């Protein structure tokens, strides 16, 4: 195997080291990684804490959304009941769907990732623990506020899919719809933050030797999951932004009278919404692919096939969105394509299912609770997949679409594909964080009740749909034959609720986290997460030579515990983890990890406050909260990117690596690039929206400002990009004044970006474009708004850069802060130039 | 058993599996093919799973390799899906032909939360308006022009064919045909807020001669003999004409359903109530108790005699 | 069938007494303490079907009809125990049957229109209403 980084793989042979480790190493690790004392527990950022909170919050939202489901089923048990009023029911089903998708499913799997990945990868923690903490707290506060809107009758009532024009100001004048947009805003923030964290973590924080082909299945799944989030979520970011702009400022993106089109929303929403299903499914499938081999005590059959299947799922899932729109009157050619793609996406799912069956056949299944949930999930998922193939058939979908058949289908897929595997994961991995495992006896009850309940609930719904019952109805007329299946479904829902209740009792009795010892590997799993750990994660970071290290690398636990591998101590006396190369996981440098800090939490609180205050139209308080939020982010970043006194450190057995890295191979650079990919995706989708709206009414579009204005807009952008690049080069020259010059250049660049933006705005204002008059103007101003947001952040970053320079925190050998700001400014300039070129040249005069 | 609910909506046999016309029939066939496919594949998976979990060691050994994935997870699904796809695509193109000249056209506009129905002549002009009920001749394809007045709705009469969305700013076409006379129930299938659950409609298929007679009756203005009554006076005084049209009078409101022949309709409140003097009275007096959230305000102020008079007058508009 | 509907109707009225009274009323044997309200050949179960078909509930709340529950006219809950129809006519079977078919002929001020039901159907309806106690 050739080396990726020039690291000599022979050096791995030095491990495990021999001889006793010096005294006090372990104590030092414990001191460095200790949890914050007393009331400061809240500022904990270790994944062992935040991961547990995160999973807990997701489960809380699962229970709350499930409660709504039980109430809805009670209303539907008999025809024309008045248990829930019409408006209440409409709010309930909207909140149920929204919470299950956005506040449970996505965060739950992301939470599992945050909790499990560091241990599975043999890292001390994921690379950006403060970001994880921020994502978690923003999610918790935003989610709770969203749920509480129900108590005030202010919850959204337009369905989780929020189709305009029903959700437009005309038909939803209240702030209910805005609560949806805000709730989703939070999950956008936390999901993307989490995704960046996971991508960089999985690709750069693996234990040495854990090349991609030795990476645990769950890590693969989380990697693909995170990449999909980066690609899919921008679509919902754009959609929600456009809708909020339409609602708040009357810019008619979706209003057909003024050149908009409600179908634009459907395209954007489902371009996110369908991959979303696989975003939820893949990590759960990854968990199943991890649990089934452990339960059957045999390696997963077809590891490579399953990895490829997951990649294929991710890829194809971006080509199936319009199968939610077969009844909208799309041309036959489009429906045919989407029909074919929707069927194709079931093939990789089939590969995974048969890989699981083959694994069970190769080993010997142990019928414990995680095993039951995994197999129960498999069966349920297959059933949902088969009805999925049915509705991929266009003519059948014309009948089944928006009927209870779909309700049955989607619950089979999501419960079989995500909920059961998630419960399997909880039962399987809980002993990792709790001093007691959950009760096996009770767990079996939970499984069988839930399995039976789910099937009793949803199996009859296939029939109810074929009997003509539409979805999203708060009641139904008597004497249509729908009474019996509905009553059965309700009975099933109650059974499911009892199962969840039993599980809650089990949790209350046995879940004891944050203790000094854990129940440990009760199911005899093969992954690194079952190595003995403390708050510092593993005592020493092992060299990985196998896909199932605990089964195949004899004595691994003992050697790791004894500190005979990498990083048996703290090499620099601070929190740190090893950054390794992407393909072969060769050690590259030592990353200094942040310490606990309350600032990310305060930043989350003020972000939440700013959004919520905006929703209730308290503009000034919202602005103040926003400014405070930025202040908190400054403080959060202030202590990062600081010099370390040693330039290199011994990470074990005399192997020395640098303690700092800037440029394209540093973890910060990766995170910034991923963030900008998100921005670029939003931009591309906005360009799509622009062309789409033009194609609807080309005759109504008016000519852009005179071409002569274009160079004046592009010039500042080009100059900004040049200055940013120059700033980084000059800083690296390490001349006496290079810090000052670089700072001036960077601040100047961010100012130029603002100038380009102002000139572009002037150009359109000059020809009297009114964003409320027509969708064309609305789109132009939407580009301006998006660019303005980036220009504002660039300005804030410029301010931060100057503050850092004033404080003397910018040095030629610590250029990362400036590198990242420069990257952002260059992107913003490019984005502004692209948008300007598009709206000035297409469709042109 | 005919009871309170509208005609043509009996749940059994399931309407999707009980087609009544050539645009529903192939879908039913597809459904059965798909059920068979799903049943067979599920059985296969369950058998494989059963063997993997409980089978004798020798059988398990055969299953426990990558070969199972190649055959069961890859080759088999690709085969089955390709066959289905070819079958489905052929059907789709046949079911979704564009409207041809000379076909009968009915324009149905989804409104919150009822259906405006307009019958069009050969040149696409409206010849008469109605609401919540579509009358068609049997044995002849009818093109439905689907519009939306406010938000998205979806037109669905399961025994006659699949559904099609009604989208503001667009016009969709759906071709349906009933082979036998009778009533076929339907309901809005796209969530449209408020009482979406109570937005039903009925398609009534007539034998050809009967259809022409019905159409001639409807095309006439409202029966004039009934005009100068106390009921029409109450109707005028209460301002009902601001929203409702009664052709042949100066009541010409457009917001609500055309009432020129309301007495001849089978249902009231968009397919949810039987239609007679009594239910008309109840609807006028307090429609909000019957269909909460609908756009018609309650008129509890009418005296008993006035209420009776106006409902009697409306009932007489056949 | 009749028994099932009876039970449901009376359960929603006065649970304890209802069942017994309904059974007595059905059998046609008048209790001394009760007014004689025999409707020969009338079937309360068919009455309920007629009530649903005619849509009586769009004005009256009718026990046994889940929806609608109109508030335009008086609830018919406990109708069997009422001494008067519409507050002014004696609650006797013949009067009730006539009132159901053509209320304005008995009470010109009533809001209740003549209902499109036959004599026989009106008798079934009356029989059902008398089970409501």
> What domains lie within chain C, and their CATH numbers?
2-28+43-130 (1.10.760.10)
Q: How confident is the model at residue C24 (pLDDT cuts 50, 70, 90)?
A: very low
Q: 3-state SS string over A204-266?
A: HCCCCCCCHHHCCHHHHHHHHHHHHHHHHHHHHHHHHHHHHHHHHHCCCCCCHHHCCCHHHHH
Whether residue B20 is predicted with pLDDT greater than 80 in this model: the reply is: yes
User: How large is the average pLDDT for residues A426-448?
Assistant: 94
The reply to whether A92 and A224 lie within a common domain is yes
Residue A74 belongs to a domain:
yes
Identify the pLDDT of residue C12. Answer: 39
* pLDDT tens digits along A722-744: 999 999 999 998 888 889 999 99
The reply to whether A616 and A737 lie within a common domain is no
Whether residue A76 is predicted with pLDDT greater than 60 in this model: the reply is: yes
The reply to whether A734 and A617 lie within a common domain is no
Q: Determine the straight-line distance between the first and last CA of chain B, rounded to whole angstroms.
A: 26
The residues facing B184 across adjacent strands are B203
Architecture of domain B224-316: Sandwich (2.60)
Identify the pLDDT of residue B8. Answer: 62
Q: Which residue has the tokens 């050949």?
A: C41
Whether residue C23 is predicted with pLDDT greater than 50 in this model: the reply is: no
Pairing of strands A648-650, B126-131: unpaired
Give A319's contacts (C-beta < 8 A, 6+ positions apart): A338, A341
Q: How confident is the model at residue A845 (pLDDT cuts 50, 70, 90)?
A: low
* pLDDT tens digits along A233-248: 999 999 999 999 999 9
Identify the pLDDT of residue B223. Answer: 67
The residues facing B186 across adjacent strands are B201
Pairing of strands C84-85, C89-90: antiparallel
A810: CATH: 1.20.120.80
* pLDDT tens digits along A605-624: 999 999 889 888 889 999 99
* pLDDT tens digits along A805-839: 999 888 888 889 999 999 999 999 999 999 999 99
DSSP of B64-116: SSHHHIIIIIIIHHHHHHHHHHHHHHHHHHHHTPPP-TT-EEEEEEEETTEEE
Of the candidates A420, A434, A472, A490, the one whose C-alpha atom is nearest the C-alpha of residue A105 is A420
Give A329's contacts (C-beta < 8 A, 6+ positions apart): B164, B165, B167, B170, B172, B173
Whether residue B82 is predicted with pLDDT greater than 90 in this model: the reply is: yes
DSSP of A399-460: HHTTBHHHHHHHHHHHIIIIIHHHHHHHHHHHHHHBSSPPPHHHHHHHHHHHHHHHHHHHHH
Residues A764 and B185: their CA atoms lie apart, in Å, by 53
The reply to whether A625 and A711 lie within a common domain is no
Q: How confident is the model at residue B17 (pLDDT cuts 50, 70, 90)?
A: very high
For A215, A547, A565, A655, the CA distances from A13, given in Å and listed in that order, are: 20, 18, 11, 12
Q: Which two tokens stand for residue C35?
A: 């007014």
Q: How many A/C residue pairs have CB atoms within 8 Å? A: 12
Query: Are the CB atoms for A822 and A725 separated by under 8 Å?
Result: yes
Q: Which residue has the tokens 């001191």?
A: A31
Q: Which residues in chain B touch residue C116, judged by CB atoms under 8 angstroms apart?
A: 276-277
Lowest mean per-residue pLDDT among A30-34, A350-354, B48-52: A30-34
Q: Same topology for domains B104-206 and B224-316, yes or no?
A: yes
Identify the pLDDT of residue C133. Answer: 84
Residues A747 and A741: their CA atoms lie apart, in Å, by 10
The residues facing B106 across adjacent strands are B119, B144
* pLDDT tens digits along A527-575: 999 998 888 888 899 999 999 999 999 899 999 999 999 999 888 888 9
Whether residue A208 is predicted with pLDDT greater than 50 in this model: the reply is: yes
Higher pLDDT: C80 or A379? It is A379
Whether residue A31 is predicted with pLDDT greater than 50 in this model: the reply is: yes
Q: Using only C-alpha atoms, what is the Rg of chain B?
A: 25
Give B125's contacts (C-beta < 8 A, 6+ positions apart): none
Residues A558 and A537: their CA atoms lie apart, in Å, by 15
Whether residue C14 is predicted with pLDDT greater than 50 in this model: the reply is: no
Buried b (16+ CB within 10 A) or exposed e, B176-193: bbbbeeebbbbbbbbbbb
Identify the pLDDT of residue A393. Answer: 92
Cβ within 8 Å, pair A357-B48: yes
Chains with 3+ CB–CB pairs under 8 A to A are B, C
pTM score of the predicted model: 0.93
DSSP of A370-405: HHHHHHHHHHHHHHHHHHHHHHHSHHHHHHHTTBHH
What residues of chain C, 39 to 78, have a C-beta less than 8 Å from chain B?
49, 52-59, 65, 67-73
For B119, B202, B220, the CA distances from B215, given in Å and listed in that order, are: 9, 16, 9
Residue A786 belongs to a domain:
yes
Give A315's contacts (C-beta < 8 A, 6+ positions apart): none
Give A10's contacts (C-beta < 8 A, 6+ positions apart): none
For A236, A261, A325, the CA distances from A252, given in Å and listed in that order, are: 18, 9, 22
Identify the pLDDT of residue B224. Answer: 60
Distance from chain centroid for Cα A92 = 25
Residues A732 and A741: their CA atoms lie apart, in Å, by 11
Q: Which of A448, A479, A510 is the last residue of a domain?
A: A510
**Chain B interface residues (partner C, CB cutoff 8 A):** 1-4, 268, 273-274, 276-279, 281-283, 285-286, 289-290, 300, 302-305, 307-308, 311-312, 315
Q: How many B/C residue pairs have CB atoms within 8 Å? A: 89
Residues A603 and A136: their CA atoms lie apart, in Å, by 11
Q: Which residue has the tokens 């999203």?
A: A472
Whether residue B267 is predicted with pLDDT greater than 60 in this model: the reply is: yes
Would you kindly state where each structural domain of chain B is located, as residue ranges? 17-95, 104-206, 224-316
Q: Which residues in chain C touch residue A79, judged by CB atoms under 8 angstroms apart?
A: 66-67
Q: Determine the straight-line distance between the first and last CA of chain A, rounded to whole angstroms.
A: 59
Pairing of strands B104-111, B142-148: parallel
In total, how many domains does chain A have?
3
Higher pLDDT: A689 or B225? It is A689
Residues A282 and A287: their CA atoms lie apart, in Å, by 9
Residue A157 belongs to a domain:
yes
Backbone angles phi, psi at A126, to 5 degrees: -70, 160
The reply to whether A91 and A181 lie within a common domain is yes
The reply to whether A505 and A604 lie within a common domain is no
Whether residue C13 is predicted with pLDDT greater than 70 in this model: the reply is: no
Whether residue C28 is predicted with pLDDT greater than 60 in this model: the reply is: no
Of the candidates A596, A603, A514, the one whose C-alpha atom is nearest the C-alpha of residue A141 is A603
Residues A260 and A252: their CA atoms lie apart, in Å, by 6
Residue A760 belongs to a domain:
yes
The reply to whether A615 and A711 lie within a common domain is no
Residue A655 belongs to a domain:
no
For B118, B234, B310, C53, the CA distances from B221, given in Å and listed in that order, are: 15, 20, 18, 29
User: How large is the average pLDDT for residues B128-134?
Assistant: 92
Residues B160 and B143: their CA atoms lie apart, in Å, by 12
Measure CB to CB from residue B167 to each of A257, A262, A480 and give the nearest one: A262
Lowest mean per-residue pLDDT among B48-62, B69-83, C3-17: C3-17
How much is the mean pLDDT over chain B?
Answer: 90
Residue A15 belongs to a domain:
no
Whether residue A708 is predicted with pLDDT greater than 70 in this model: the reply is: yes
Distance from chain centroid for Cα A194 = 5
Residue A266 belongs to a domain:
yes
Identify the pLDDT of residue B227. Answer: 52
Q: Which two tokens stand for residue A633?
A: 């982010």
Query: Are the CB atoms for A448 and A548 separated by under 8 Å?
Result: no
Residue A183 belongs to a domain:
yes
Of the candidates A475, A476, A840, A474, the one whose C-alpha atom is nearest the C-alpha of residue A690 is A840
What's the longest Cα–Cα distance across chain C?
A: 38
Of the candidates A115, A113, A323, the one whose C-alpha atom is nearest the C-alpha of residue A224 is A113
Q: What is the DSSP letter of A529?
A: G
Identify the pLDDT of residue A182. Answer: 80
Measure CB to CB from residue B282 to each of C65, C70, C116 and give the nearest one: C70
CA of A489 to nearest chain C CA: how many angstroms apart?
20
Q: Determine the straight-line distance between the first and last CA of chain C, rounded to whole angstroms.
A: 19
Identify the pLDDT of residue B228. Answer: 59
How much is the mean pLDDT over chain A?
Answer: 93
Whether residue C7 is predicted with pLDDT greater than 50 in this model: the reply is: no
Q: What is the DSSP letter of A104?
A: I
Identify the pLDDT of residue C27. Answer: 41
A361: CATH: 1.20.210.10
Cβ within 8 Å, pair C68-B289: yes
Of the candidates A621, A603, A622, the one whose C-alpha atom is nearest the C-alpha of residue A182 is A622
Q: How confident is the model at residue C35 (pLDDT cuts 50, 70, 90)?
A: low
The reply to whether A220 and A323 lie within a common domain is yes
Q: Which of C46, C52, C76, C111 to mutate to test the interface with B (most CBs of B within 10 A)?
A: C111
* pLDDT tens digits along B96-121: 677 788 889 999 999 999 999 999 98
**Quick check: C8 contacting A, CB < 8 Å?**
no
Q: Which two tokens stand for residue A165?
A: 């024009």
**Chain A interface residues (partner C, CB cutoff 8 A):** 78-81, 475, 477-479
Give C46's contacts (C-beta < 8 A, 6+ positions apart): C121, C124
∠ CA A488-A492-A493, nearest 5°, is 115
**Quick check: C23 contacting B, CB < 8 Å?**
no
∠ CA A537-A538-A539, nearest 5°, is 120
Domain span at A757:
699-841
Residues C122 and C100: their CA atoms lie apart, in Å, by 6
Q: Which of A510, A527, A548 is the last residue of a domain?
A: A510
Measure CB to CB from residue A78 to each of C52, C66, C68 and give the nearest one: C66
Whether residue B9 is predicted with pLDDT greater than 80 in this model: the reply is: no
For A165, A495, A640, C51, C93, the CA distances from C122, given in Å and listed in that order, are: 48, 45, 86, 9, 10
Just give the CATH number of B104-206. Answer: 2.60.40.420
**Quick check: C68 contacting A, CB < 8 Å?**
yes
H-only helix segments in A646-774: 667-696, 709-733, 738-766
């Amino acid at each position: 195997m050739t080396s990726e980084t020039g690291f000599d793989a022979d050096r791995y042979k030095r491990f495990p080291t021999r001889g006793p480790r010096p005294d006090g190493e372990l104590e030092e690790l414990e001191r460095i990684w200790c949890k914050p004392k007393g009331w400061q527990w809240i500022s904990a950022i270790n994944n062992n804490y935040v991961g547990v909170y995160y999973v807990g919050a997701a489960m809380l939202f699962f229970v709350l959304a499930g409660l709504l489901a039980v109430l809805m089923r009670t209303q539907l048990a008999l025809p024309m009941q008045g248990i829930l009023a019409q408006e209440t029911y409409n709010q309930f089903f909207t909140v149920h769907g929204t919470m299950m998708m956005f506040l449970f499913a996505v965060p739950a799997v992301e939470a599992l990732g945050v909790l499990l990945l560091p241990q599975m990868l043999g890292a001390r923690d994921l690379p950006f623990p403060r970001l994880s903490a921020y994502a978690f707290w923003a999610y918790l506060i935003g989610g709770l506020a969203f749920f509480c809107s129900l108590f005030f009758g202010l919850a959204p009532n337009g369905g989780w899919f929020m189709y305009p024009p029903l959700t437009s100001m005309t038909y939803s004048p209240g702030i209910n719809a805005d609560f949806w947009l805000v709730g989703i805003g939070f999950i956008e923030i936390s999901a993307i933050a989490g995704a960046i964290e996971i991508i960089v973590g999985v690709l750069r924080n693996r234990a040495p030797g854990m090349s991609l082909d030795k990476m645990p299945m769950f890590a693969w799944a989380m990697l693909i999951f995170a990449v999909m989030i980066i690609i899919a979520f921008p679509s919902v970011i754009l959609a929600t932004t456009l809708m909020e702009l339409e609602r708040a400022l009357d810019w008619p993106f979706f209003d057909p009278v003024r050149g908009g089109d409600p179908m634009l929303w459907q395209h954007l929403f489902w371009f996110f919404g369908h991959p979303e299903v696989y975003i939820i499914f893949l990590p759960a499938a990854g968990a199943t692919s991890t649990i089934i081999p452990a339960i059957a005590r045999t390696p997963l059959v077809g590891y490579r096939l399953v990895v490829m299947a997951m990649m294929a799922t991710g890829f194809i899932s971006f080509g199936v969105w319009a199968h939610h729109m077969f009844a909208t009157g799309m041309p036959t050619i489009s429906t045919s394509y989407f029909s074919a793609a929707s069927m194709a996406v079931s093939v990789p799912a089939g590969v995974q299912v048969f890989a699981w069956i083959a694994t069970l056949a190769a080993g010997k299944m142990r019928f414990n609770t995680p095993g039951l949930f995994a197999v129960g999930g498999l069966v349920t998922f297959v059933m949902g997949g088969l009805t999925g193939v049915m509705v991929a058939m266009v003519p059948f979908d014309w009948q089944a679409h928006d009927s209870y058949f779909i309700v049955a289908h989607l619950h089979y897929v999501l419960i079989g594909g995500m909920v059961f595997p998630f419960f399997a994961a909880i039962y399987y991995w809980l002993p990792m964080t709790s001093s007691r495992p959950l009760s096996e006896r009770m767990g079996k009850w939970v499984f069988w009740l839930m399995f039976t309940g789910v099937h009793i609930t949803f199996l009859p719904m296939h029939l109810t749909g074929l009997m003509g019952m539409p979805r999203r109805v708060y009641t139904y007329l008597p004497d249509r034959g729908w009474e019996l299946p509905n009553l059965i479904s309700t009975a099933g829902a109650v059974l499911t609720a009892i199962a969840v209740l039993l599980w809650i009792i089990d949790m209350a009795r046995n879940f004891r986290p944050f203790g000094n010892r854990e129940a440990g590997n009760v199911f005899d799993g093969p992954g690194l997460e079952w190595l003995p750990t403390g708050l510092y994660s593993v005592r020493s970071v092992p060299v990985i030579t196998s896909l199932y290290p605990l089964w195949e690398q004899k004595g691994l636990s003992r050697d790791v515990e004894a500190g005979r591998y990498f990083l048996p101590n703290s090499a620099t006396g601070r929190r740190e983890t090893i950054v390794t190369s992407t393909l072969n996981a060769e050690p590259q440098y030592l990353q200094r990890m942040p310490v606990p800090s309350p600032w990310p939490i305060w930043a989350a609180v003020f972000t939440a406050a700013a959004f919520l205050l905006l929703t209730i139209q308290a503009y000034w308080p919202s602005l103040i909260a926003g400014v405070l939020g930025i202040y908190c982010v400054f403080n959060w970043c202030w202590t990062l990117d600081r010099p370390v006194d040693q330039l290199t450190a011994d990470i074990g057995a005399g192997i020395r690596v640098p303690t700092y890295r800037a440029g394209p191979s540093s973890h910060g650079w990766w995170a910034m690039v991923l963030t900008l990919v998100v921005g670029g995706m939003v931009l591309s989708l906005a360009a799509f929206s622009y062309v789409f709206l033009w194609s609807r009414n080309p005759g109504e579009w008016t000519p852009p400002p005179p071409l002569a204005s274009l160079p004046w807009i592009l010039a500042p952008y080009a100059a900004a990009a040049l200055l940013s690049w120059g700033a980084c080069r000059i800083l690296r020259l390490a001349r006496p004044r290079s810090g000052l010059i670089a700072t001036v250049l960077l601040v100047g660049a961010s100012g130029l970006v603002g100038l380009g933006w102002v000139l572009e705005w002037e150009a359109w204002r000059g020809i009297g474009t009114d964003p409320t008059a027509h969708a064309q103007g609305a789109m132009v101003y939407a580009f301006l708004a998006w660019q303005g947001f980036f220009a504002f952040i660039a300005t804030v970053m410029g301010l931060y850069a100057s503050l850092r320079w004033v404080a003397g925190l910018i040095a030629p050998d610590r250029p990362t802060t400036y590198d990242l700001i420069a990257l952002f400014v260059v992107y913003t300039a490019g984005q502004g130039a692209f948008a300007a070129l598009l709206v000035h040249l297409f469709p042109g005069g | 058993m005919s009871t309170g609910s509208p005609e043509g909506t009996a749940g059994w046999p399931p309407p999707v599996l009980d087609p009544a016309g050539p645009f529903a029939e192939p879908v039913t066939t597809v459904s059965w093919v798909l059920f068979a496919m799903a049943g067979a594949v599920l059985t296969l998976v369950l058998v494989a799973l059963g063997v993997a979990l409980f089978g004798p060691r020798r059988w398990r050994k055969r299953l426990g390799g990558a070969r199972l994935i190649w055959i069961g997870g890859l080759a088999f699904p690709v085969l089955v899906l390709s066959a289905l796809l070819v079958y489905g695509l052929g059907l789709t193109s046949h079911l979704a032909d564009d409207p041809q000249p000379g076909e009968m056209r009915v324009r149905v506009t989804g409104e919150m939360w009822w259906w405006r129905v307009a019958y069009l002549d050969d040149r696409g002009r409206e010849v008469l308006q109605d609401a919540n009920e579509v009358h068609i001749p049997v044995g002849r394809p009818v093109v439905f022009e689907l519009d939306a007045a406010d938000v998205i709705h979806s037109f669905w009469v399961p025994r006659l064919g699949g559904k099609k969305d009604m989208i503001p700013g667009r016009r969709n076409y759906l071709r349906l045909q009933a082979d036998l006379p009778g009533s076929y129930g339907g309901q809005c299938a796209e969530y449209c807020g408020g009482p979406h659950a109570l937005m039903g409609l009925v398609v009534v298929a007539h034998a050809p001669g009967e259809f022409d007679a019905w159409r001639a009756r409807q095309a006439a203005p409202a029966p004039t003999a009934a005009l100068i009554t106390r009921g029409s006076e109450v109707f005028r005084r209460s301002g009902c004409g601001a929203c409702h049209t009664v052709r042949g009078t100066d009541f010409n409101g457009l917001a609500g359903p055309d009432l020129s022949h309301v007495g001849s309709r089978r249902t009231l409140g968009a397919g949810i109530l039987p239609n007679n003097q009594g239910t008309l009275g109840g609807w006028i007096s307090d429609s909000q108790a019957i269909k909460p959230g609908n756009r018609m305000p309650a008129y509890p102020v009418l005296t008993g005699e006035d209420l009776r008079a106006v409902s009697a007058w409306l009932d007489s508009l056949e | 069938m009749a028994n099932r509907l009876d039970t449901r109707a009376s359960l929603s009225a006065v649970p304890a007494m209802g069942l017994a009274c309904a059974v007595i009323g059905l059998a046609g044997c008048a209790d001394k303490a009760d007014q004689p309200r025999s409707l020969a050949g009338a079937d309360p179960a068919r009455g309920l079907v007629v009530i649903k078909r005619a849509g009586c509930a769009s004005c009256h709340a009718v026990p046994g009809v889940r929806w609608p529950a109109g508030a335009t006219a008086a609830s018919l809950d406990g109708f069997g125990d009422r001494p008067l129809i519409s507050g002014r006519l004696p609650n006797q079977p013949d009067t009730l049957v006539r009132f159901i078919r053509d209320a304005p002929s008995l009470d010109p001020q009533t809001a209740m229109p003549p209902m499109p039901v036959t004599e026989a159907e009106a008798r079934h309806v009356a029989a059902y209403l008398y089970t409501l106690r």
